[in-house]
Amino acid sequence: MHLVSEAYRLAYADRAKYVADSDFVRVPVAGLLAPSYLRERAASIRMDRSMGVPVAGAPAGAVSHLGIDDSLGLPSTSHISIVDRYGNAVSMTTTIEFGFGSLQMVGGFLLNNQLTDFAFSPNDAQGNPVANRVEPGKRPRSSMSPTIVFDAENRVEAVVGSPGGGNIIQYVVKTLLGLIDWDMNIQQAIDLPNFGAQTGATTTIERHTKVVELSAGLEARGHTVRIASENSGVQGIVFNGMRGPAKPGRLARDPGAGRWAGGADPRREGTAAGND
């Protein structure tokens, strides 16, 4: 939990500074994903102490004078994962950003409240322009993370995603960790306790779960722990027989299985359904 939360801090810090609509802002994707940059960022994670409030890095190609985003992470998102009989796969996360969107209905459809995904301030406290500021015709940045996992032969292995505002990223990562690294089935991975951090010193742990017992250990490492309800809603499908292979970070098919398995998050409404 310590290591993953620290990695979240670094990722969210870079996201808050550099990620926005690439039609308006030069997003340094190659620099953010460069192995040398990732090694540099990972080196700032200490085993014995939390970094507290993270600082954005300086990847190659980045615009250095950008400010830090202050957008909200509102709920009211839905996710579906689908695989049909022909093997076509869909991972779709959709949101109207508020319980009833913008409270306006047109033609029977609620209009979304998506402006809240933009930064609320066009400039930060130092006057630097925020990449995710509101501009005409601009797409707001989002935490939605619909994900499809492929194997080495380009076959679909898993379809996952979740609602949950700014924590969607953490819910999806947790599920992938369970599937890929911890040899869990899809329902076990979804059921894992939620936890994580964003751009502050606070590490959140899901209330009424066994990992609350780890709070003292995290606090001893300098984390500011908050116990809270984590309203994830992960929906996932995997090729039945997925297992943690000998080589870390890879998924493998069981040639004798040939079926799909689904899982639904017990924290929200939702169900896994199939035709047999």
Measured CA to CA in angstroms, residue 146 lies from 13, 248, 261 at distances of 21, 23, 18
Q: Rounded mean pLDDT of the chain?
A: 89
Look at residue 276 in the predicted model and tell me its pLDDT: 61
pLDDT of residue 27: 96
Name which residue leads in pLDDT, 136 or 65: 136
Percent above pLDDT 70 for the chain: 91
Per DSSP, 140 falls in state P
Instruction: Please tell me the least confidently modeled range out of 61-65, 198-202, 251-255.
Output: 251-255
Supply the residues annotated as catalytic: 77
pLDDT at residue 255, rounded to an integer: 44
Is residue 250 over pLDDT 60?
no
Q: Is the pLDDT of residue 253 over 60?
A: no
Q: What is the DSSP string of 166-218?
A: GGHHHHHHHHHIIIIIS---HHHHHHSPPEEE-SSSEEEEETTSGGGGGHHHH
Distance CA 97, CA 212 (A): 29
Give the residue-averaged pLDDT of 211-232. Answer: 96
Query: What integer is the mean pLDDT of 117-143?
Result: 92
116 close to 101: Cβ distance less than 8 angstroms: no
Q: How much is the average pLDDT of 181-195?
A: 95
Segment holding 220, helix H or strand E: helix 215-220
Q: What is the pLDDT of residues 75-99, one digit of tens each?
A: 578 999 999 988 899 999 998 888 8
Q: Phi/psi of residue 45, each to 5°?
A: -85, 125
pLDDT at 75: 59
The packing angle between helices 35-42 and 2-18, to 10°, is: 120
Q: Give pLDDT, residue 254.
A: 46
What's the pLDDT score for residue 74? Answer: 60
Residue type (1 letter), 102: S
